[in-house]
Amino acid sequence: MGKTLHPGPQKKSVVPAPEHWVSPIPFGLGKMKPKHIRDTMKVAWENKDNLGYAANILTKGVCDGCALGVSGLYDQTLTGPHVCTTRLNVLRLNTMPAIKPEILHADIDELRKYDSSELRKLGRIPYPLIRRKGERKFSRITWDHAMEMIALKMRKLDPKQFAFYLTARGITNESYYAAGKVARFLGTNHIDNASRICHAPSKTALKRSIGVGASTCNYLDWIGTDVLLFWGSVASNSSPVSSKYMLEAKKKGTKIIVVNPYREPAMDQYWIPSNPESALFGTKIADDFYQVNIGGDIAFMHGIMKHWFDMEEKVYGSAINHEFVEAHVNGYEELKKKVQDQSWEAIVESSGVSKERIIELAKLLAGSKNAVYAWALGLTMHSFATDNISQVANLALLRGHLGRKHAGLMPFRGHSSVQGSGEMGADPFVLPGGGWDGNTVERIEQLWGFELPKWQGDIVGVTLENIVLPETHERKVKLYYLSGGNFLETMPDPDFIKKALSELEIRVHQDIILNTSTLVDAKEAVIILPAKTRYEQEDGGTSTSTERMVYFSPEIPGNKQKVEEARAEWKIFINLAKRVKPETAHLVDFADGYAVRREIAKANPDYEGIQHLKEQGDVFQWGGAWLCEDGICPTPDGKGSLIPVEIPDLNKKPEQFIVTSRRGKQFNSMVYNEVDPLNGAGRYDVLMSAVDGQKLSIAEGEGIVVYNGFGVFQGTAKFVEIAPGNIEVHFPEGNFLLPRGRYEKFAGIPDYNITVHVEKAERYNARKDTVYLEKPIPELEIEVG
């Protein structure tokens, strides 16, 4: 049977639904809510010097914000125009002029007075720059000189001593592909990308559970499914257009359930600016919240399954879809035993949710013919993240919620084309169209015409640690080539990251703008290369959305503030290859963007069709509407696997809290508002339960200290609806509490959750003055997870 194709965008319901309104008072007057109209006017004002080009980006380009994949103003889910504040906030990166020379070439300490938000507003990088050891300011340098310096250094180094990293700021599939190919051509497997610090476990878990590392369904499947379950995701905040789909789903009778420690206001009530009804009266998004403990999700899911097996003992087939399980699933008895071995006491203690509430959700899912399970960083940023997501897959497999309309598993990705990064091979464990298995290596070597390095490359966190290895170590990283990214604000232990970055001999930042990490010293030189935006890339570029739609974004002419010396990212990588290995560089050369896409179609068979994308609006979906269609998985026996997983022990003492990070009004680490318009929280507010505040005699608004053996965070108590025993701090401000070197064992994601103590600031400071606090030795500390 052939694959079912996506039907394309569907019409929105025009019938008002007052039952979903937040308030009959127009525009949510008197309520805390985002001021979308005001924010839109502000964006228009910011872009007033290049308004025509800004309008063309919005109407002709594929969104470089979140991973929904809006092409121009339209997407493949609902008819009608879509635009959101996330997209509007990143618009200025594409329209602004170059940084003024008197600021760009000021003393480095003057530049260091700016934070990343302020650096971003200075404008674009105008031309290649260099700052050598001991120099106080950046100097202009020619492209030839800059590239020759990098190439000369690479020729001197063992390929195990240099590394590449690509972030997710609008980078196209063509750039990911060229970077992955060039890295291997230059002899290194140290290449990684931003999904390593957000969604790598999703891919790893789905691969082992169902044989494929991508969303099995579409946004269209939300609309009319029985249950849409959001796990550790604030979809309405990270991808605001998705709130439109949620409203349509509710109108079709879908129940929306959110599992998250914090009752996130954006998933509770939201005013959708481009939907007149919602803009006026708001939308009640979630039908129910289950406020689990941070790290309590596995136990919570054990509880759901435990009740399912109890239901089965009374009435066969009342909870498990036996027909689906027998035909399409392995490991049923082993999972059943593992689940039944769990005690309700352990489940309730770890999850923080009562047995009655867990049973309530178990019954809802057991009675639902269809369900879509969507998740984000709340499940992925743990040391047991792969197990978290395999446990979600266990739920879907037991109920047969897979491979058909209105059912499936969806990692809810945050950035445009981060889905494409691994599929293009910009990852130490994968090549285009496969892993590092013998067949894929042989196939790619034949296509590319050169031998691949056979040693295992390191993930980004390990690469950073390898910078401080002894001088003689074969894996001591001496040159780091970064396309975007700011490790100072995305990785745990920022103090260590700063030290590591400064110990590199040469550090290359290929980017649109400066950030705080570009200003850190290096032993020999910091080289900065001005990149083109995706809208300036010759012959256009492609990006892959969460739902596997591959969109073509054309080159958009007419930028009044064009940076003349900026170059397309994929071309910079090719230029580097030509300089390091001129004699064989024809093997990685491409005549144009179309040639890159033609080769991608050969390298990754899923992308057959990408070579035909040429015009604005061109799109195809790899894999068809549903992966694992009719329950048949791309595994050796065609079946999915149920994976028994343990309830993690977080080693949390009764007086401790678990802390996790959250995003406010920001795009990754790029902060756009100092105060979150949805809850009024400032960047240094610590979100905690009033119950915990009372226990510790902490008043709202009082100064508090959050600390552990790794760091200290001074903030202000803000009481919110969060599960007691859990607190949240903003990312990246709270990263000082997180130790380096703790990675999820399957996917290598850093752990962004840890145990901490919380105290009134005055008590902590008084105690610090009188008691000598011994600095713990990290190796002797008990680890979380």
Residue 781 pLDDT: 43
- Alpha-carbon distance of 378 to 380, in angstroms, equals 6
Q: How far apart are CA 648 and CA 650, in angstroms?
A: 6
Rg for the chain, CA atoms, rounded:
25
Compute how many other C-beta atoms are within 10 angstroms of the C-beta atom of residue 59. 14
Give yes or no for a contact between 596 and 568, defined as CB atoms under 8 angstroms apart.
Answer: no
In this predicted structure, what is the pLDDT of residue 706? 96
CA atoms within 13 A on the CB side of 176: 34
Low-confidence ranges of the chain (pLDDT < 50): 1, 772-785
Q: What is the 3-state secondary structure (H, E, C) of 284-317?
A: ECCCEEECCCCCCHHHHHHHHHHHHHHHHHHCCC
Task: Phi first, then psi: give them for residue 371, nearest 5 degrees.
Answer: -155, 145
Letter string b/e over residues 410-425, b meaning 16 or more CB atoms within 10 A of that residue's CB? bbbbbbbbbbbbbbbb
Upstream peptide bond of 557 is cis (omega within 30 degrees of 0): no
What does the pLDDT read at residue 773? Answer: 47
In sequence order, which residues have a C-beta less than 8 Å from that of residue 142 and are 6 or more positions away? 128
Q: Are 202 and 411 in contact (CB under 8 A)?
A: yes
**What does residue 263 show for φ and ψ, rounded to 5 degrees?**
-75, 85
Tokens at 493, concatenated: 């232990």
State the pTM of this model: 0.95
Rounded Cα distance between 710 and 695, Å, is 25
Q: CA 36, CA 48: separation in Å to the nearest integer?
A: 18
Q: Is 178 within 8 Å of 169 (Cβ atoms)? A: no
Beta bridge partners of 269: 284
In whole angstroms, what is the distance from residue 99 CA to residue 120 CA? 10
Q: Are the CB atoms for 732 and 117 separated by under 8 Å?
A: no
DSSP 697-717: TPPTT-EEEEE-SS-EEEEEE
Distance CA 156, CA 159 (A): 9
What is the distance of C-alpha 647 from the center of its chain?
25
Q: Where does residue 72 fall: left (phi above 0), alpha (psi -120 to 50 degrees), or beta otherwise? A: left
- Nearest CA-CA partner of 215 in 423, 419, 449: 419
On the CB side of 1, CA atoms within 13 Å amount to 9
Token readout for 668 is 């990754």
Residue 780 confidence (pLDDT):
43
Tokens of 346: 């352990």
- What's the start-to-end Cα distance of the chain, in Å? 44
3-state helix, strand, coil in the chain (%, to 5): 40, 15, 45
Q: Which residues contact 80 (CB under 8 A, 6 or more apart)?
A: 12, 74, 274
3-state secondary structure of 751: coil
8 Å CB contact between 148 and 525: no
Length of the chain: 785
The contacts of residue 340 (CB under 8 Å, 6+ apart) are 306, 309
Contact yes or no for 531/510 (Cβ under 8 A): yes
> To which residue do tokens 């030795």 refer?
777
Tokens of 141: 């340098």
> Torsion angle, CA of 246/247/248/254, rounded to 10 degrees?
60
- Which pLDDT score is estimated for 25? 84
Which of 193, 198, 199, 225 lies closest to 213 in space, CA to CA?
Answer: 199
